[in-house]
Structure 1
Amino acid sequence: MKLVILDRDGVINHDSPHFIKSPNEWIPIAGSLEAIALLNQSGFRVALATNQSGIGRGLFDMATLNAIHDKMHRSLSQLGGRIDALFYCPHAAEAKCDCRKPKAGMLEEIGRRFGMDLKGVACVGDSLRDLQAGVACGCQPILVRTGKGEATLQAGGLPENTWICADLAEAVQRIIAEDK
């Protein structure tokens, strides 16, 4: 099985320093949904691993998160794409849970659910914590320059071997090329 793990905010959709708190605020980055559809058409399963501390902070509730994800799923399906599994951490940072990236709990759960070792699996994110969680599981870290990606790149300290891509569309092209 071929698998790719994606972060959500800043990778698939535009991010906001004030959180994405409603379906109206969820706006896909140009080319990201098409890139996911291309992954699907190329035989990849796609898992989403996203920190959603806005729930733990009381900024939005589960019904709202579900509505945001419904919009994402509908938008993807119109292009022939899909997210095969969606994992999220609803906790605020203060909770010190094991699922919140940069900890690897959420990604470890993805590996268990798919019944596979994540060594070499592409893990795409726009923040250092996304990459750190992936590296802890043996994933190939990929930083996109969208969202917080440019600031993450400028801050330095990226894991060794990190691929740097302009956006998810470029990352997907490289993932598919490396798979051949």
Structure 2
Amino acid sequence: MGPSSNPPKAVLFDRDGTLIHDVPYNGDPGLVSPMPAARKVLAGLRRQGIATGVITNQSGIARGLLTRSQVDSVNLRIDALLGPFDIWEICPHGTEDGCGCRKPAPGMILSACRRLGIATADAVYIGDIGSDMEAAEAAGLRGILVPTPLTRHQEVHDAPEVATDLSAAVALALGQAPAGQAPVGSRR
């Protein structure tokens, strides 16, 4: 989906690698480290009355590497540092489970929009890998990729929109260019 002339009613975010530095299968709230400018961009969205939410795959639960309690503890720490978020959607399943919630399936995004009482067209999803963009497309909303060193080149190439960092992604979502840094912009 391309940019809209109206600001979104919600900006939804991937968790690991997007809002916080990715620590694989993290069950320790003490290891939570926000991405640069995360607090600032989230506070700015909230000041504008735009809902914020987190959409996250947590297959470590299905794999027995984490408990749901550990994931919840990490999420509470994230909420304390960066929240409050209006919505949290967590998929505890593994890839082999065939659920409808695990990204790239659209289930969590559709659920978040339904719970927020908005149409998917009124939301934007920001993530760091291809499955995030596939989930956004499958849900019928705008996806913006913020690549990390772990993002594959093909995922960047295939993304509908790419931003250099979280600030630029939110600026792109809002139709603004951040001061001193232009978003990469639309790829399609």
Q: TM-score range by the shorter chain?
A: 0.7 to 0.9
Q: Distance in 1 between matches of 2:144 and 2:103?
A: 15
Q: Is the 8 A contact 1:42 1:176 kept in 2?
A: no
Counterpart position of 1:93:
95
Q: 2:121 aligns with which of 119, 122, 126?
A: 119
Shift in Å at residue 11 of structure 1?
A: 0.3
Counterpart position of 2:138:
136
Structure 1 residues 147 and 82, CA gap change in structure 2 (3 angstroms): farther
Q: How many residues align?
A: 168
Letter in structure 2 aligned against 1:13: I
Counterpart position of 2:14:
7
Shift in Å at residue 147 of structure 1?
A: 6.0
Shift in Å at residue 35 of structure 1?
A: 1.2
Q: Distance in 2 between matches of 1:177 and 1:111?
A: 21
Q: Which runs of 5+ in 1 are unaligned?
A: none
Q: Which runs of 5+ in 2 are unaligned?
A: 1-7, 177-188
Q: Distance in 1 between matches of 2:74 and 2:119?
A: 30
Q: Is the 8 A contact 1:5 1:46 kept in 2?
A: yes
Please, what TM-score do these two structures have when normalized by structure 1?
0.86
Shift in Å at residue 176 of structure 1?
A: 2.5
Shift in Å at residue 121 of structure 1?
A: 2.0
* Post-superposition CA distance 1:6-51 (Å, at most 9, x none): 10000001113x3222112221111112211111112210111100
Letter in structure 2 aligned against 1:146: T
Q: Distance in 2 between matches of 1:23 and 1:137?
A: 30
Structure 1 residues 56 and 26, CA gap change in structure 2 (3 angstroms): same
Matches of residues 43-58 of structure 1 in structure 2 within 5 Å? 43-58=49-64
Please, what TM-score do these two structures have when normalized by structure 2?
0.82
Q: Distance in 1 between matches of 2:84 and 2:149?
A: 21
Letter in structure 1 aligned against 2:37: G
Q: Is the 8 A contact 2:79 2:85 kept in 1?
A: yes
Q: Distance in 2 between matches of 1:33 and 1:11?
A: 12
Q: Distance in 1 between matches of 2:122 and 2:76?
A: 30
SS of 1:103's equivalent in the other structure is: coil
Identity among equivalent positions (%) equals 32
Structure 1 residues 85 and 147, CA gap change in structure 2 (3 angstroms): farther
SS of 2:22's equivalent in the other structure is: coil
Root-mean-square deviation (CA, aligned residues, Å) is 1.7
Q: Distance in 2 between matches of 1:139 and 1:52?
A: 22
Q: Distance in 2 between matches of 1:24 and 1:127?
A: 25
Q: Distance in 2 between matches of 1:147 and 1:75?
A: 24
